[in-house]
Structure 1
Amino acid sequence: MSRTAPAPAGEAAPPRPRRRIPGLGALRESGRLFALAGTTVREAFRRPFQTRELIEQFWFVAAVTILPAALVSIPFGAVIALQVGSLAQQLGAQSFTGGASVLAVIQQASPLIVALLIAGAGGSAICADLGSRTIREELEAMEVMGVSPVQRLVVPRVLACMLVAVLLNGLVSVVGTLGGYFFNVMLQHGTPGAYLSSFSALAQLPDLYISEIKAVVFGFIAGVVAAYRGLNPRGGPKGVGDVVNQSVVITFLLLFVVNVVLTAIYLQLVPQKGA
């Protein structure tokens, strides 16, 4: 049995290899992500506010997401309306097709569609931009000059994602509702009056509130995750490409988890109409 030879007298013993704790790296990364989110919120109230940067980022994110959001919302609304309509016909509750499908679009599909498109189109571009700046050491130069990279670069991009998410959420809700209405009336021979009356009978104003709240939260998550991965690239240009892919995947996972939490809280706190 081999044994490690003792260190000669007067010489320091070699350092022992550190034991790697499973999950510690992921926990550390999660802590840094939450720290950046808190710093972003705090830096958003500092002056001077980067109004011009915010407008430029808002226009960029909106330009790359508005058309895909409008196009994607049509099949989403159609699929939900067709599925709900088919199930309602089997149960003999065709009169509730409109209310169920529209609520599903407004509460669930619309904020998720918007957030996924922002993360995939706008968030990936934000991550690539910040990653390229990081490997060129532009952020270190800003810190040397006394400029906060978070306040100068991260805050406008996160706020832009949040504003675009709120505005696009309304667009996707309207387009998805119209798509579901068209396919239900044309393909499943539903009556327009029953579709609209069931929606007015089941829907309530808090349903729109939770949809907009989800859009704000999802936009914040997409912007913060993209900024965090962009500020921490590894391995030069190849590392920038890797963090772009990672930011999209991490954002998708967080969005679905947070969506479940917000939906559960809403259903527990807000009584449903007619219940």
Structure 2
Amino acid sequence: MTARPGTASPTGERTPSRALAPLRETGRLFALAAAVVRAVFRRPFQFREFVEQFWFIAGVTILPAALVSIPFGAVIALQVGSLTQQLGAQSFTGGASVLAVVQQASPLIVALLIAGAGGSAICADLGSRSIREELDAMEVMGISPVQRLVVPRVLATMLVAVLLNGLVSVVGTLGGYFFNVVMQDGTPGAYLASFSALAQLPDLYISEFKALVFGFIAGVVAAHRGLNPRGGPKGVGDAVNQSVVITFLLLFFVNMVLTAVYLETVPPKGG
């Protein structure tokens, strides 16, 4: 007896169609990313849609990003300060704390908030349009849903990520400075001196580049799941959850790769 495509065989084994489904989804995701890159350079550009999406994503993420960055900066500063005190290297607390906030914590905080707030909204919006067959109607009229709807949203997430990354870096650094000086009796001069001795402009560049890439990933994944919901309204809800989980997994993997490449290619200050 032959099993139908996408079903289990009598022996309990998956058919090739079911087993290759993750690969097909990955291929569609990369195809959408390539289509977005190509559509960015096409005209007309949906500037009004871009501004509306930028304002919406910034509005739902700016306050949480500023609030979350304070405890992140504080925890990093307290942990680093405790370790440096044990090693007798208190003078390096400021530099180590700031580098951890700028290079690692800041872009990840921004990306997670954008994926959780802005990305979920993008996925739900596109998913609802898809189940109402609005996207099919647009294609019938010769309008590309990618150029009309996806590109402005992806660019908006990228720009918001870059701008919020700067805000989170500043707030997180100030929070770390305050808690180190007040709670651990750190010296303000030593904190600032170690910061200027260890930090360099490429640290800020890689942080902003990470935010840009993370914003692109969050926007593309949310759009991909929103364009391909399954099962009506329930499928839209499932797509929102899937988009957030997939984005988180990709963000941490890409962050590891970018960090490894940066540390291998850019020499430390004074090295």
Q: Which bracket does the TM-score occupy, shorter chain normalised?
A: over 0.9
Q: Which has the larger radius of gyration?
A: 1
Q: For residue 84 of structure 1, what is the aligned residue in structure 2?
A: 80
Paired residues of 2:157 and 2:219 also in contact (CA < 8 A): yes
Alpha-carbon separation, structure 2, partners of 1:159 and 1:125: 15
Residue from 1, 15, 22 that aligns with 1:20 = 15
1:112 counterpart letter in structure 2: L
Count of matched residue positions in the alignment of Structure 1 and Structure 2: 262
2:207 maps to 1:216: no
Shift of 1:23: 4.3
Alpha-carbon separation, structure 2, partners of 1:37 and 1:106: 27
Residue from 95, 101, 113 that aligns with 1:117 = 113
**1:26-37 maps to which residues of 2 (within 5 A)?**
26-37=22-33
2:144 counterpart letter in structure 1: S
Residue from 104, 107, 117 that aligns with 2:103 = 107
2:240 maps to 1:244: yes
Flag the 1:100–1:134 CA change in 2: closer, same or farther, 3 A: same
Alpha-carbon separation, structure 1, partners of 2:21 and 2:83: 46
Residue from 187, 190, 199 that aligns with 1:191 = 187
Unaligned ranges ≥5, structure 1: 5-14
Shift of 1:17: 4.0
Secondary structure of the corresponding residue to residue 43 of structure 2:
coil
Residue from 240, 265, 268 that aligns with 1:269 = 265
2:61 maps to 1:93: no
Shift of 1:85: 0.2
Shift of 1:24: 1.2
Residue from 163, 168, 191 that aligns with 1:167 = 163
1:102 counterpart letter in structure 2: V
Residue from 54, 58, 62 that aligns with 1:62 = 58
Alpha-carbon separation, structure 2, partners of 1:199 and 1:29: 44
Q: For residue 8 of structure 2, what is the aligned residue in structure 1?
A: none
**1:121-140 maps to which residues of 2 (within 5 A)?**
121-140=117-136
2:90 counterpart letter in structure 1: Q
Alpha-carbon separation, structure 2, partners of 1:89 and 1:122: 40
Secondary structure of the corresponding residue to residue 189 of structure 1:
coil
2:121 counterpart letter in structure 1: A
Flag the 1:107–1:16 CA change in 2: closer, same or farther, 3 A: closer
Alpha-carbon separation, structure 2, partners of 1:207 and 1:223: 24
1:31 counterpart letter in structure 2: G
Q: For residue 229 of structure 2, what is the aligned residue in structure 1?
A: 233
RMSD value, Cα: 1.1
Alpha-carbon separation, structure 1, partners of 2:55 and 2:221: 20
Post-superposition CA distance 1:101-124 (Å, at most 9, x none): 000000000000000000000000
TM-score (normalizing by structure 1): 0.94
Q: For residue 179 of structure 1, what is the aligned residue in structure 2?
A: 175
Alpha-carbon separation, structure 2, partners of 1:70 and 1:33: 31
Post-superposition CA distance 1:45-96 (Å, at most 9, x none): 1000000000000000000000000000000000000000000000000000
1:97 counterpart letter in structure 2: T
TM-score (normalizing by structure 2): 0.95
Alpha-carbon separation, structure 2, partners of 1:187 and 1:66: 27
Shift of 1:25: 1.1
2:247 counterpart letter in structure 1: T
Q: For residue 34 of structure 2, what is the aligned residue in structure 1?
A: 38
Secondary structure of the corresponding residue to residue 146 of structure 1:
coil
Alpha-carbon separation, structure 1, partners of 2:176 and 2:140: 55
Shift of 1:274: 2.3
Alpha-carbon separation, structure 1, partners of 2:50 and 2:3: 50
Alpha-carbon separation, structure 2, partners of 1:272 and 1:243: 42
